[in-house]
Amino acid sequence: MSTSNTLNGAQVIVDYLVQEKVPTVFGLCGHGNIQFIDALFERKHDIKTVSVHHESVAGFMADVFYRVSGRPTATFTSCGPGSANLPISLANAFLDSVPFMAVTGNVPTSQFNRGAFQELYRHYQADFPFTVRSYCKKVFQPTRGEMVPLAVRQAWKTMVTGRPGPVVLDVPFDVFMEAAAEEAPKPEEWSANISSRCGADPEGVVKAVDMLLNAERPCIIVGQGVRWGGACDDLLRLAERLQIPVAASMSGLGAISMDHPLALGLVARAGHYQANHATRQADVLLALGVRFDDRTSSSWIPGYSFTIPPTKLIHVDIDPEEIGRNYPVALGLMADVRTFLRQILAELDRRADLNKQADARKKWLTAIDGYRKEWDKFVAPGFSDDTTPINPQRAALEIDKGLPDDAILVSDIGVHHNWLLGFCKPRRPDSLIGSMGFGPMGFGVAGVLGAKFAAPDRPCVSVCGDGAFFMHANVLGTAVEYNLPVVWVVWNNYAYASIRGLQRGYLNGRELATDFHNPVTGERYNPDFAAMARSAGVEGVRVDRAGDLAEAVRKGIAANRPYLIDVDIAADINPAGAGVWELPGLGQSKPGIGTRYQPA
């Protein structure tokens, strides 16, 4: 243990978190981290400790906490299986560029390479860092108390600078206890004064403005770099100033309100017709914080989401590794998106006759309005379908109708996610939160708890598939224990319906291991999720009619207590859009609306 005038390793870490104004940490106890928990106990008036029932839940909560608040937090897990449950949520945060600090316990250094209880030693002593190094920005493993101050400050700096992402601070049991320092490092001397908001080179800014002003059919496409970078207001100023329409990847939806006349909506394999058809015809495409993944890019097949070239791509990202990864660039600029947009706006202030450019956009915007009308006509029948089980498009509409403007909707992974992306209309950057890179089931089931900790005064609703909820039903207990008035809408289609759809579409309906049936009767089977919720002390109701769903969401929010809505939703309809998706070797889907664009 430390002396009276010296902090031990655990105390240094906790004190550093307090100095960084971390309000809450999420985790689960184990013999490898009890000393760290004891240090949290000493500071319980300065930092709140939340105990969960599965380690990946802690990571998902920390992830969504940041997405809502913009403030990184931390998790704590024990050695062996405790921390081995964490990589799913670490990878999710890593691929979505979300920072949190994972403090993981390990066996004592005196027991390294002896095969102590829960030690990974067969390849290298205390080898948990090797397990997770592909799933985070960096792993730090101090092996003496005096190494902890350096490790914790470097870990935090790594986490929040450049392209943000999670870090792992792996601490042997005895290092938590060893004397480490008389005081923890001071953030104001290390990370607090570091800015990663680098701008683009001035010549590149001038060239970008020239390209945008000379374009006849310009488009902007935004990703999560705009949302996480706090660039939404600047984006709107640029779009309105030059009358350039704005499309969004799945990660960028909400960067501008979907009600705005310049908002095109979703570009994706199931994207909106006006969005896909505009971006694939654009002569200049300004991409801000976009990865150009396969779902956004229609598996990179030209003419469905994009046609690059001949479209000239201006790609701006804080991570140069993403620029030129999947498409050639006419101009690639490494920059913080917000800083870049402000540079562009300043350059426009030096230009004359911008009104002429805005007038020139009218023909382009009129054409896009025509595409929007075609899309609206295409999707209209689904909005009035009153069949049972509930049409999933109608379900997405009714859920959206039931949400107040300040609600936070946290989506899980599954076919419902595609329906929400297509037919909910987020009005602010944090209205609709989903996992876009790693795609783990359970993200939304657990993440909604993190959203509520981040925004206790805002309604927080999770829409999650029946499969994902059953995997992580332990969240019911956490919501009760911490009195978190969140609402789960269980999209109950009695199947892993997203994957069953692939079996039907690509494998001629050879279905196996993708739906849930009673082995005796053959009837579809699931637990009674509403009854399950009630058994845990959570209000639970069942909805079978589309017309009742919006009101059920309103009642769930108004209850101001943990609330679950089990919704019977049809599993035989998949969202159709203007793009395609390819599973190499199995084939390519067909667009639901429009055809492949072939430039003249």
HEC assignment per residue over 132-155: HHHHCCEEECCCCHHHHHHHHHHH
pLDDT band at 597 (very low <50, low <70, confident <90, very high): very high
pLDDT in tens, 145-185: 999 999 999 999 999 999 999 999 999 999 999 999 999 99
Q: In which element (H, E) is residue 265 found?
A: strand 263-266
Residues 254 and 426: beta-carbon distance below 8 Å: yes
Find the mean pLDDT for residues 51-59: 98
Please list, residue by residue across 437-455, b when 16 or more beta carbons sit within 10 angstroms of its beta carbon and e when fewer do. Answer: bbbbbbbbbbbbbbbbbbb
Q: State the average pLDDT for the chain.
A: 96
Residues 231 and 288: beta-carbon distance below 8 Å: yes
Residues 115 and 127: beta-carbon distance below 8 Å: no
Task: Measure CA 172 to chain center.
Answer: 31
Angle at 80 between CA 76 and CA 81, to 5 degrees: 80
Could you give the C-alpha distances from 235 to 242, 243, 451, in angstroms and in order? Answer: 11, 11, 25
Find the mean pLDDT for residues 478-484: 98
pLDDT, position 1: 46
Least confident residue range of 33-47, 211-225, 348-362: 348-362
Residues 563 and 550: beta-carbon distance below 8 Å: no
Q: In which element (H, E) is residue 451 found?
A: helix 443-454
Residues 536 and 523: beta-carbon distance below 8 Å: no
Give the CA-trace dihedral at 158, 160, 164, 170, to 10 degrees: 50
pLDDT band at 4 (very low <50, low <70, confident <90, very high): low
pLDDT band at 228 (very low <50, low <70, confident <90, very high): confident
Q: In which element (H, E) is residue 246 found?
A: strand 246-248
Asked if residue 359 has pLDDT above 80, the reply is: no
User: What is the C-alpha radius of gyration for the chain, rounded to an integer number of angstroms?
Assistant: 25
Of the chain, the percentage scoring pLDDT greater than 70 comes to 99
pLDDT band at 538 (very low <50, low <70, confident <90, very high): very high
Distance CA 491, CA 444 (A): 12
515, HSE (Cβ side, Cα atoms, 13 Å): 22
Distance CA 90, CA 367 (A): 43
Task: Measure CA 370 to chain center.
Answer: 32
Distance CA 264, CA 213 (A): 20
For residue 26, which phi and psi values (nearest 5 degrees)?
-120, 135
pLDDT band at 49 (very low <50, low <70, confident <90, very high): very high
Q: In which element (H, E) is residue 232 found?
A: helix 232-242
Cα–Cα nearest to 231, from 266, 199, 271, 186: 199
What is the pTM for the complete model shown? 0.97
Please list, residue by residue across 199-220, b when 16 or more beta carbons sit within 10 angstroms of its beta carbon and e when fewer do. Answer: bbeeebbbbbbebbbebebbbb
Asked if residue 557 has pLDDT above 60, the reply is: yes
**Which pair of tokens denotes residue 511?**
């279905």
Please list, residue by residue across 410-427, b when 16 or more beta carbons sit within 10 angstroms of its beta carbon and e when fewer do. Answer: bbbbbbbbbbbbbbbbbb
Cα–Cα nearest to 420, from 569, 572, 538, 297: 569
Asked if residue 244 has pLDDT above 60, the reply is: yes
Task: Measure CA 271 to chain center.
Answer: 18
pLDDT, position 218: 97
Asked if residue 64 has pLDDT above 60, the reply is: yes
Distance CA 234, CA 338 (A): 7
Distance CA 424, CA 221 (A): 19
Asked if residue 298 has pLDDT above 90, the reply is: yes
Cα–Cα nearest to 222, from 250, 191, 202, 194: 250
Residues 358 and 218: beta-carbon distance below 8 Å: no
Cα–Cα nearest to 547, from 388, 421, 418: 388
pLDDT, position 458: 98
pLDDT in tens, 419-475: 999 999 998 999 999 999 999 999 999 999 999 999 999 999 999 999 999 999 999
pLDDT band at 590 (very low <50, low <70, confident <90, very high): very high
pLDDT, position 357: 72
Residues 37 and 58: beta-carbon distance below 8 Å: no
Least confident residue range of 29-43, 237-251, 345-359, 534-548: 345-359
**Which pair of tokens denotes residue 35?**
């000393």
